[in-house]
């Protein structure tokens, strides 16, 4: 017993010591930060690395933080745009250097950043870009620069849009797993990889159309930014005419071929620095700690609710939409008299149908309380992501937002062949009632069980159609004609009535303020994120070491990230034993 108490007290003291040490470090960092807040001077250049995933709201992303991988702070899209706006009005910031080779953001996010950078240029300050080589989306983003430079041994991978979707049916057949699949909507293609070996004609049609829309948007922007004809850009994409640095230069894709030391000399000359003087760079992460980001002030508030990530029942992680987090949050917003309007910022491929309906209902109650609800769409507002926004007073989307996908599916694995023939395991059952053992993957579904599951799927689909029909003020027949699980771009969504206005989040906020009849207001963003002590501690230690880019010690390669992306997507779809309203795959636009 004595040894027990000794060990117990030792453990407690150890824990207390660790936390005390942690608080001491944070306190010291806070004092250090306060003493060194003003660390940049005139002729500073903002250096942007925009290759990592950018959430809608800062740090609203599920991520692990530990001693080895670090605790990375992920600046949100809205925050980055506000920082660009602040930099445009900051006399100490002379310009921007974008150093990108690839990006991990969606296409609508990319357009929003391009617009923010364009507004920065309109202030009269310069923007240059440098890369060893560009992926297509990285080049698209950086094309807003005054001049673009790449490594002489680099190139520009400008080739148009395509989709490569993996199919798993043959693999499932080999291991002895059949998928019981129930769906509503000919275009609802999320289940195709598990029941077909290639894309259906419906899926080919919708995919080809939205990829063509996206390509049109990209070509128009590139033509304006690079002063190239659309025909020239199509010719470049058809022949991969940017595949080497020299070809990219000859075809007008870039303005110069430089090694990294040469871009430094170029920047120094641009700033009029003397010989051996170095360019003073400031990262976006550091500027975030120092910038004076102005926000409107007033007694009235407009709530921006970020509905970001997959819709999952019962989950409470950052970057996930669930009733567990959102219902109480929306109820508090409804009861707050200072909040005059709500902007629902949706960036979601959808997910659980029940959770989607619960969030839809809470937003309807906000409207009943007399507060306008405006929806703003990011990269995706599809399926369940569209469901929760269907009743909004106004829907705002980017032209290349992927939206719609109004359909429902459910999948249930049948592993009897795997268990019986491959592993030699079989199950026997005794039941007092027909459905007493539930829908088990270890027993074949009866015809009656299959009929019940299909009936549940169709019921949710009919409800989805009804929500959209009433919210969009369309007839049921009109809604059905644009539903069927079909994916549309925001541009096409405007034409068919799924979208009211093409624009960004700021446009939606302006519309919300106008509908609420308020001119002086401040924007309050939800959800509020809980501080992670350990993550903050590690982040502060990294910053104290000058690691303002928060690079991870153990980072995944681009190919590893792609494989992980496929794994998590398939995993989320295989979870769909209940009715789901979800986009098939998050497309990789390279």
Q: Catalytic site residue 147?
A: no
Task: For residues 363 and 368, give the distance between their C-alpha atoms in angstroms, rounded to a whole number.
Answer: 9
Active site residue 383: yes
What pTM value is reported for the model? 0.85
pLDDT tops 60 at residue 410: yes
The more confidently predicted of residues 283 and 319 is 283
Tell me the chain's radius of gyration from C-alpha atoms.
26
Q: What is the largest CA-CA distance in the chain?
A: 89
pLDDT confidence of residue 134: 97
Q: Which domains does the chain have, with CATH numbers?
A: 41-159+240-290+534-555 (3.90.226.10), 300-519+569-582 (3.90.226.10)
Identify the sign of the CA torsion 453, 413, 324, 53: negative
Which structure tokens are listed for 27?
Answer: 């306190």
| Three-class secondary structure assignment of 27-46 | HHHHHHHHHCCCCCCCCEEE
List of residues 6+ apart from 69 with CB closer than 8 A: 552, 553, 554, 555
Q: Which of 112, 129, 376, 383 is catalytic?
A: 383
* Structure confidence at residue 74 as a pLDDT band (50, 70, 90): confident
Reduced 3-state DSSP string for 543-565 = HHCCCCCCCCCCCCCHHHHHHHH
Residue 2 CA: distances (Å) to CA of 5, 15, 508: 5, 20, 66
Q: Residue 36, class by beta-carbon neighbours within 10 Å (0-12 exposed, 13-18 middle, 19+ buried)?
A: exposed
Are the beta carbons of 567 and 541 closer than 8 angstroms? no
Please report, rounded to a whole number, the percentage of residues in the chain having pLDDT higher than 90.
69
pLDDT tens readout for residues 220-266? 999 999 999 999 999 999 999 999 999 999 999 999 999 999 999 99
Res 565: pLDDT = 54
First-to-last C-alpha distance (Å) of the chain: 63
Interval 329-366: pLDDT, tens: 999 999 999 999 999 999 999 999 999 999 999 999 99
- Is there a contact between 187 and 407 (Cβ–Cβ < 8 Å)? yes
Nearest to 42 by CA among 97, 98, 94, 116: 94
Distance CA 355, CA 462 (A): 16
Q: Which residues pair with 131 in a beta bridge?
A: 150
Three-state secondary structure of 323-387: HHHHHHHHHHHHHCCCEEEEEEEEEECEEEHHHHHHHHHHHHHHHHCCCCEEEEEEEEEECHHHH
Distance CA 362, CA 330 (A): 7
Question: SS3 of 372, please?
Answer: coil
Residue 572 has pLDDT above 80, yes or no: no
| Catalytic entry in 57, 82, 94, 188 | 188
Q: Cβ of 37: how many Cβ atoms within 10 Å?
A: 9
Q: Between 564 and 240, where is the model more confident?
A: 240
């Amino acid at each position: 017993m004595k040894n027990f108490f000794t060990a117990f007290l030792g453990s407690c003291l150890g824990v207390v010591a660790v936390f005390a040490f942690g608080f001491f470090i944070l306190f010291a960092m806070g004092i250090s930060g306060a003493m060194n807040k003003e660390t940049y001077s005139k002729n500073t250049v903002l250096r942007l690395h925009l290759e990592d995933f950018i959430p809608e709201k800062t740090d609203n992303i599920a991520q692990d933080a530990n001693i080895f991988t670090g605790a990375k702070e992920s600046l949100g899209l809205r925050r980055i745009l506000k920082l660009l706006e602040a930099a445009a009005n900051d006399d100490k910031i002379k310009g921007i250097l974008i150093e990108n080779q690839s990006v991990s953001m969606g296409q609508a996010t990319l357009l929003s950043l391009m617009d923010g950078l364009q507004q920065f240029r309109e202030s009269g300050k310069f923007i240059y870009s440098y890369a060893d080589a560009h992926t297509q989306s990285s080049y698209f983003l950086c094309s807003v620069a005054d001049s673009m430079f790449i490594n002489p041994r680099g190139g520009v991978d400008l080739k148009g849009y395509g989709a490569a979707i993996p199919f798993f049916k043959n693999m499932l057949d080999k291991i002895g797993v059949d998928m019981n699949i129930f769906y509503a909507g000919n275009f609802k293609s999320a289940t195709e990889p598990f029941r077909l070996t290639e894309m259906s004609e419906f899926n080919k049609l919708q995919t080809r159309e939205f990829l063509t829309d996206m390509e049109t948007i990209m070509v128009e922007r590139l033509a304006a930014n690079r002063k190239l004809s659309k025909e020239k850009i199509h010719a470049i994409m058809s022949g991969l005419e940017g595949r080497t640095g020299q070809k990219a230069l000859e075809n007008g894709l870039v303005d110069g071929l430089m090694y990294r030391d040469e871009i430094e000399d170029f920047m120094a000359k641009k700033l009029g620095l003397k010989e051996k003087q170095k360019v003073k760079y400031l990262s976006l992460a550091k500027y975030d700690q120092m910038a004076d980001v102005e926000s409107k002030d007033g007694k009235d508030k407009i709530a921006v609710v970020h509905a970001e990530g997959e819709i999952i029942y019962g989950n409470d992680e950052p970057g996930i939409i669930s009733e567990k987090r959102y219902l109480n949050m929306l109820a508090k917003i409804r009861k707050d008299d200072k909040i005059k309007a709500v902007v629902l910022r949706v960036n979601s491929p959808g997910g659980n149908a029940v959770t989607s309906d619960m969030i839809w209902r809470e937003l309807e109650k906000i409207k009943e309380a007399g507060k306008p609800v405006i929806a703003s769409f990011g990269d995706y507002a599809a399926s369940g992501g569209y469901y929760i926004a269907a009743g909004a007073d106004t829907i705002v989307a980017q032209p290349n937002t992927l939206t719609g996908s109004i359909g429902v599916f459910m999948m249930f694995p049948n592993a009897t062949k795997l268990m019986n023939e491959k592993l030699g395991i079989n199950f026997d059952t005794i039941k007092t009632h027909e459905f007493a053992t539930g829908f088990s993957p270890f027993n074949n579904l009866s015809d009656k069980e299959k009929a019940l599951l299909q009936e549940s799927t169709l019921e949710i689909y009919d409800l989805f159609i009804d929500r959209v029909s009433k919210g969009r003020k369309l007839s049921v027949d009109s809604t059905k004609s644009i539903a069927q699980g079909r994916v549309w771009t925001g541009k096409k969504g405007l034409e068919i009535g799924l979208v009211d206005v093409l624009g960004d989040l700021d446009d939606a906020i302006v519309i919300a303020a106008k509908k609420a009849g308020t001119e002086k207001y401040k924007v309050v963003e939800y959800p509020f994120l809980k501080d992670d002590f350990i993550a903050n501690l590690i982040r502060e230690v990294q910053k104290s070491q000058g690691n303002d880019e928060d690079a991870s010690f153990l980072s995944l390669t681009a190919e590893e990230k792609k494989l992980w992306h496929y794994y998590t997507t398939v995993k989320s779809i295989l979870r769909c034993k209940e009715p789901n309203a979800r986009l098939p795959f998050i497309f990789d636009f390279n």
